Amino acid sequence: MRKLTKLDHERVLSFLRAEPSINLFIIGDLEAFGYDTDFQDIWAEFDEQGEIIAVLLRFYQSFIPYAKGDFNVSDFVSIISSFPEPHLLSGKTEIVEKFEPYKELHLGKKQETFFAECTNTNYLDRSNLDIKKADIADIDRILSLRRSIDEFHIRDDAREMLLTSMMSKTARTYFTEENGLMTACVSTAAENSMSAMIVGVCTRKEFRRKGLATTIMQNLISDVLNECKVLCLFFDNPEAGRIYKRLGFKDIGMWTMYR
């Protein structure tokens, strides 16, 4: 077990590339912030042949482990517990559940969601609907639309986060509008060289049942896949899951967060 440096970058990316959607956050954070910041670290466990078998990413107080098989959970627990609480843990369900017996982590509330991936455009149709790509000038309109959705919980720092993401090209938003009013939008987050995540699918209440968000999604999915990336998303609503599957998303596992 050792902490990785920029000299390990290609080696660790090769390990993570086996599941680019599951490893979306780790890949994105490594590409964006590297190995020499005070808020991010990554450690790896190696086998007897010197091959990586597991990694642990720290981003501030959030930790994401990943492994393809068995790994030394207790060593990862020792690393996590050496940092101040709270210990925020997330990842592929069958991996992070191995940490539950370790009471020194003081894990918070457990939340499980379905994790789905789209890798081809076979189920997509292009539309003549006027769909636009947002720029920085549209940030306040995006947030205004999101705040109109009862199910969304918008953080106080949402504007700063969205601005940073758009400027770093790790997020994009497509939208429709009518008479200058943004009617529906769909965004990506955590975009990296291999993958991207669909987030923020929303339609203003008075414009629902017109297929706006679904049509926007089809255009966005097509554009991202044509850039040779895979798309993924979380969902816990069965109705939403059915819509996503009609667009070509397939379940690839469960994702668990402890908050």
Does some domain include residue 8? yes
Of the pLDDT bands very low, low, confident and very high (cuts 50, 70, 90), residue 151 is: confident
Please count the other Cβ atoms lying within 10 Å of the Cβ belonging to residue 49. Answer: 6
The pLDDT of residue 156 is: 86
Token pair of 30 as six digits: 């490594």
pLDDT digits (tens, 9 = 90+) for 162-171: 998 899 889 9
Tokens 């609480």 label which residue?
85
Please tell me whether residues 64 and 154 are part of one structural domain: no
Does some domain include residue 258? no
Spatial CA neighbour of 167 closest among 183, 131, 191, 185: 191
Domain end point (choices 108, 130, 150): 108
Please tell me whether residues 129 and 71 are part of one structural domain: no
By the 10 Å C-beta count (0-12 exposed, 13-18 middle, 19+ buried), 222 is classed as: middle
Does some domain include residue 209? yes
pLDDT over 90 at 34, yes or no: yes
Spatial CA neighbour of 66 closest among 135, 11, 19, 131: 19
CATH number at residue 85: 3.40.630
How many residues are listed for the chain in this entry?
259
The pLDDT of residue 161 is: 86
Please tell me whether residues 22 and 62 are part of one structural domain: yes
What's this model's pTM, rounded to 2 decimal places?
0.85
Domain end point (choices 88, 108, 128): 108
Domain span at 236:
118-253
Please tell me whether residues 85 and 6 are part of one structural domain: yes
The answer to which of 52-56, 143-147, 183-187, 237-241 has the lowest mean pLDDT is 237-241
Q: Is 209 left (phi over 0), alpha (psi -120 to 50) or beta?
A: left
Please tell me whether residues 101 and 11 are part of one structural domain: yes
Q: Tell me whether the omega of the peptide bond preceding residue 84 falls within 30 degrees of 0, making it cis.
A: no
**Amino acid sitting at position 220:** L
pLDDT over 80 at 252, yes or no: yes
By the 10 Å C-beta count (0-12 exposed, 13-18 middle, 19+ buried), 226 is classed as: exposed
204 or 153, which is more confident?
204
pLDDT digits (tens, 9 = 90+) for 71-93: 999 999 999 999 988 889 999 99
Find the mean pLDDT for residues 203-222.
95
d(CA 249, CA 207): 25
d(CA 108, CA 89): 9
Please tell me whether residues 129 and 76 are part of one structural domain: no
Please tell me whether residues 130 and 219 are part of one structural domain: yes
Please tell me whether residues 246 and 165 are part of one structural domain: yes
Please tell me whether residues 138 and 90 are part of one structural domain: no
Does some domain include residue 259? no
Please tell me whether residues 51 and 164 are part of one structural domain: no
Tally the domains of the chain. 2
